[in-house]
């Protein structure tokens, strides 16, 4: 049982997913309006938060753990990270980022405020509601900037650092610095970004 379910990564994820689907079914059954639009918004929210955890969890692994501790690892042991751990972490990291953004934009669309938020409250808002959409929109734009950072800066430069793309030692050192700065930028932006994600619904419904 332990070997089959828990020590096998794929089976473990499938089991988690099945339990989640049962829970989601339960929420639908007990939602006063059944499987209505609001129910599906809640499901997209769940998908969005799952991808958000995958992405930002790995961002925090890179910044809270790997970047700070790697310099202490003896040089001859470091290839274990660069050959095995980091490429796999970056795989889930960049696809997690894409999943988060797609589900997030879909969520904003289903909530009916995608235009209002992306224009920071300047388009399509009632008088007096400008600020609440601006507050949500700022978080969404921060997350979009973070996403562009992942795919446009961190990943292309990490390919050079990890040797997936050929480059000389100078180019590698430069790429490592750029990737680190972009990754730290995302860590910084993640905290204000999360305020919009976590506070909007509680305060504005």
Q: Is residue 96 within the footprint of ligand HEM (CB under 6 A)?
A: no
Q: Is residue 101 within the footprint of ligand HEM (CB under 6 A)?
A: yes
From 2-10, 79-87, 120-128, 194-202, give the range in contact with ligand HEM by CB under 6 A: 194-202
The token pair at 62 is 């890179």
Residue in the shown chain whose Cβ atom is closest to ligand HEM:
104
12 CA to centre of own chain? 21
Q: Smaller CB distance to ligand HEM: residue 111 or 159?
A: 111
The token pair at 187 is 């860590």
Residues 124-183 that bind ligand HEM (CB under 6 A): 140, 143-144, 147
**What secondary structure does DSSP assign to 101-137, as a single string?**
HHHHHHHHHHHT-HHHHHTTTSSS--TT-HHHHHHHH
# binding residues, ligand HEM (CB under 6 A): 22
3-state secondary structure at position 168: coil
Count of Cβ atoms closer than 10 Å to residue 170 Cβ? 8
Q: Smaller CB distance to ligand HEM: residue 52 or 175?
A: 52
Tell me how far apart the alpha carbons of residues 121 and 124 are, in angstroms, rounded to a whole number.
Answer: 7
Tell me how far apart the alpha carbons of residues 41 and 19 are, in angstroms, rounded to a whole number.
Answer: 19
Q: Is residue 93 within the footprint of ligand HEM (CB under 6 A)?
A: no
Q: Smaller CB distance to ligand HEM: residue 66 or 144?
A: 144
Per CB under 6 A, residues contacting ligand HEM are 45, 48-49, 52-53, 55-56, 100-101, 104-105, 107-108, 111, 140, 143-144, 147, 197-198, 200-201
């Amino acid at each position: 049982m332990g070997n089959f379910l828990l020590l096998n990564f794929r089976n473990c994820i499938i089991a988690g997913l099945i339990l989640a689907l049962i829970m989601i079914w339960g929420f639908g059954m007990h939602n006063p309006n059944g499987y209505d639009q609001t129910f599906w918004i809640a499901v997209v929210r769940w998908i969005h938060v799952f991808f958000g955890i995958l992405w930002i969890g790995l961002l925090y692994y890179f910044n809270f753990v790997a970047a700070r501790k790697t310099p202490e690892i003896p040089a001859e042991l470091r290839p274990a990270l660069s050959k095995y751990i980091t490429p796999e972490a970056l795989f889930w990291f960049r696809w997690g980022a894409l999943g988060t953004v797609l589900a997030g934009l879909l969520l904003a669309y289903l909530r009916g405020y995608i235009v209002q938020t992306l224009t920071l409250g300047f388009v399509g808002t009632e008088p007096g509601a400008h600020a609440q959409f601006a507050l949500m929109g700022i978080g969404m734009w921060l997350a979009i900037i973070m996403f562009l950072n992942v795919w446009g800066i961190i990943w292309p430069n990490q390919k050079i650092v990890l040797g997936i793309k050929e480059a000389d030692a100078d180019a590698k050192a430069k790429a490592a610095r750029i990737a680190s700065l972009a990754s730290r930028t995302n860590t910084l932006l993640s905290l204000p970004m999360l305020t919009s994600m976590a506070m909007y619904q509680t305060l504005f419904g």
